[in-house]
Structures are given as C-alpha cells and as structure tokens.
Amino acid sequence: MGISYGLEGSLELMAVVSSLKFSSGGLELEQMLPEIITEIPGPKSRELALELRKYESHNVTYVAEDWPIFWERAEGSWVWDADGNRYIDMTSAFGVAGLGHTQPDLRNAMVEQSGKLMHAMGDVHPTQLKVEVCKRLSQMTFERWGLGTGKTLLANSGFEAVESALKTAYIATGKPGVIHFQNGYHGLGYGALLGGGFDKFRSPFDAQLADVRTVLQYPRTETDLEDLEDQLDMIKASEVGALIVEPVQGRGGKVVPPAGFLKQLRRWCDAHGVVLIFDEIYSGFNRSGRLFACEWEEVYPDVICVGKALSGGYPISACVGRAEIMDKWPVSPGEALHTSTFLGNPVGCAMAITALDKHADPAVARDVERQGDELMAMLREIESPLIKEVRGRGMMIGVELCHADGSPAGDVAGPMLGEMLKRGVVMLADGPDGNVLAFTPPFYVTLGELVYVVENVRELLGKY
C-alpha cells in the first residue's frame, strides 16, 4: 500500500492542527483534519444532554461525562456538532449513509418530493413511486439472481421488515418455529425478538415472547460448520418455518462466517421446507463490497430484509421475497393483513429510488471492496497485544480487543470511543461484550481520513 505517515509530535495535538501530510503511491498528499474547538462534549452538547434527560426516557440516549455530542449537520464523511466541532464519521450513522451524509442527489430527491407530496395512502391510494421502488427491489434481488420476480412488503424500520419476513414464513409454511443465530441482531420489536440472538435485549421480555426459537452458534471455523451440521440434524424441522441469518454479522461483531455456511443453510432449508431469510439490513447495498453480502457465496435466500442504506437517510425498509412465497399472503379484500400508516411514504420512496439507482452501479461495490482492503491492511499493521482479530468484508470491519487472559476488552474499547471523539472521530463498538471496534465509514471516505483514524487508534491502543 506504501503509505508513510510522517507525523510529528503528540497525536493528541493533531485535532487542533488543520491538516495531515502523508504519502501514498509515491504521491505527497494532504488531508483536512477534524477540527475540535471546545472540550468534548462541548458546552452546548452538555446542556442539551441534561435537557434530554429530563424529557426523554432515560433508557434511550446514553449520557456520560464523555458522551454524547449532538449532531447538527453532516456532509460526506464529516459531521459537525452543536458546538461547531468537526468529526470524521466511522459509523455512517448506523450504516445508513453508505453513499455519504446529505448526499446531494438524495437530498434533492427529498426536497423535490416533499414540495409535491409528503404523504399518501400507502395501502389504499398509493403513488407511482411505490411501484418504482418495488420494481427496482425485484430487479436488484431475485431477478438479478435468476429466481424470477421478487415481491415486496415495505415498512419503516429494519425490525419491521424482519417481522414481515417472519410473518411471511409462518403464512407460507404454517410452521411457527424460528431458527436464528447467537449474537444475530434483527432489531428490537417483539416480533423481531422472536429471532434475535442478543440475550440482553430479549431476556427482559421473555415472559411475553412465544417460545418458538432455536438458537444456533454462528460459525467461525470449518469445524464449527461440522458441528452446525450435527445440530441441524437434531432439529425437529416439522415445526420450523423460518431460519433467519445475517450473511455477515454486523452488531454481533463484524463476523464473517466460513465459506460454505450459507450453502449449508440453503441445503437444509430446501430439504425441510423452511423459509431462508437473509437479514441484509446492515450488510446490504454494497456495504460488504458486493451489492448484497450473500453474493460473496452466490447463495440466495427465499426472503431478504433490507433497510438502512435503502434510502440513505429516511426511515424506509423492505422485506422482499420470491413470488411463490409472497403470494401465500391472502389477496387484500380491502383490509391488508399487514400494513402501516407510513408504508410506501413518497419522500422515502423518492430517496430510495435515487439510492437504488446509485447502488445498482457495479462500480460502487468495486470501490467499497478496494477501500475496505486498504482499511483492513492499515488496521492489520497495528501491533498491539490487545488485538485478537481484524476481520470483516468491504467497509464492514471490526477490530476485536481481548486481554492477555482471552477475556473481551470492552473495558478498553468503551473508553477508547470517548477518546476518539475527543480526537474528532465518531466511532462505535460492537459484539455482545462491546469489545469490537467497528469501522463502517461512508464508502467515499478518503485515504487521508482513514490514515488519521487508524493512526489515532494505533496510538491509543499503545496506551493500554
């Protein structure tokens, strides 16, 4: 890769100097740096946090001495807070802004559409935009995979798309059982929790959730695949209608399963009449370096769930399934069995159409793969006894931190997020123990921005 950093002095000073010089491929380059002009969080963010505490359920926003900052605007991979500080975003705001924050074409689509029609009657008198979104989703999934037409159920957030998929599987098979994987994250609605593998989110509500699930280990090695085969053999498939899985686990810690995993699931579901659901809410739309992460293995689901980057910044999600399965839903007699007020919202649809047209360009996947390879190589060059593994696909990368005794180092990753914020980088940590530093920036983050981030991670890890 040939990057040399040529940084001088303490990296802590870097956030107050304005640019970073580095060389790559024989070229001398200069990168604009974050601009931190107040303590972090700044006075305005602190004041807003106190006010929020008063009026929002205190379960929602985490407030601490070093957290949060209040976002005011964002552009590309940059975010400005209420105090005027400027940060590099390593999160794409939960994976939504793959094409960049406030991407001009998406913004124009939103502005234009909201001037014409902000809301219609999704399942009664809809818009042409809804037709266009459903058509594009079919073309980009099942038609592209040579599996005929894909039919869509639109929704607002990711968990709703998951719930639509689980309902679809039940309607299509009449079998209530759901198989899912440990540390799989499918959202937090009651229905989504039927197939959610994070115990901490499910167990407080166990008493209200039907016990229809089987939880399997998400495989990491070839041996795990053999164990999985044994576990699948023992399942009473006559009671299972759905198997839901992330082709790459996102919030579970950016875990890439061994090759052959998705094929194994496909085989088993085919043999037992189980609907295979891929949750690509995180990994979809080029995040993994393919349009959909399942394309790495060329294994395709019966139903796919998408959200997040579908619009790049508006709450819209979708469950898309093979026509034969989706057609098991009854034809609406005038009252849909599953719908919602904002389903097919025209502003969301206008943004989704623009986003989908961009994502359909194969150059995006190539760019993400190349950028991801660069970032992965830079992260793998960091030498630290705390790093257990650097893994991921495309721009979906995790750095797992563990102590010498093998215990997860969430106690290092957590404070590091606050430290990185002070250095002008917005980051999150994943995994059930919060010990996986997550790198999911907007796709067109620059090399210089990545150099800055990686150098700061390296320097901070050296302190622990």
Ligand X SMILES: Cc1ncc(COP(=O)(O)O)c(C=O)c1O
Interacting residue ranges for ligand X, rule: CB under 6 A: 94, 157-159, 162, 185-187, 246, 250-251, 279, 281-282, 307
Closer CB to ligand X, residue 279 or residue 455?
279
Pairing assessment for the beta strands 19-24 and 317-322 based on DSSP bridges: unpaired
Pairwise CA distance, residues 425 & 330, whole Å? 49
Shortest Cβ 317–ligand X spacing (Å)? 6
Residue nearest to ligand X according to CB distances in the complex: 158
Closer CB to ligand X, residue 244 or residue 416?
244
Closer CB to ligand X, residue 158 or residue 392?
158
Shortest Cβ 159–ligand X spacing (Å)? 4
**How many C-beta neighbours within 10 Å does residue 37 have?**
12
Closer CB to ligand X, residue 24 or residue 61?
61
Closer CB to ligand X, residue 281 or residue 378?
281
Q: Is 406 left (phi over 0), alpha (psi -120 to 50) or beta?
A: left
Shortest Cβ 246–ligand X spacing (Å)? 5
Residue 161 burial by CB count (10 A; 0-12/13-18/19+): exposed, middle or buried? buried
Closer CB to ligand X, residue 46 or residue 213?
213
Identify how many contiguous H helices and E strands the chain contains and give both numbers. 14, 18
Which alpha helices (DSSP H) does 7-127 contain, by range? 43-55, 92-95, 104-116
DSSP symbols for 374-389 = HHHHHHHT---TTEEE
Shortest Cβ 280–ligand X spacing (Å)? 7
Shortest Cβ 252–ligand X spacing (Å)? 9
Closer CB to ligand X, residue 83 or residue 246?
246
Sign of torsion, CA 297 389 15 370?
Answer: negative
Laid out side by side, the sheet with 317-322 consists of 150-155, 317-322, 303-306, 275-279, 240-245, 177-181, 213-216
Residue with tokens 């979809």: 284
Shortest Cβ 147–ligand X spacing (Å)? 22
Shortest Cβ 28–ligand X spacing (Å)? 39
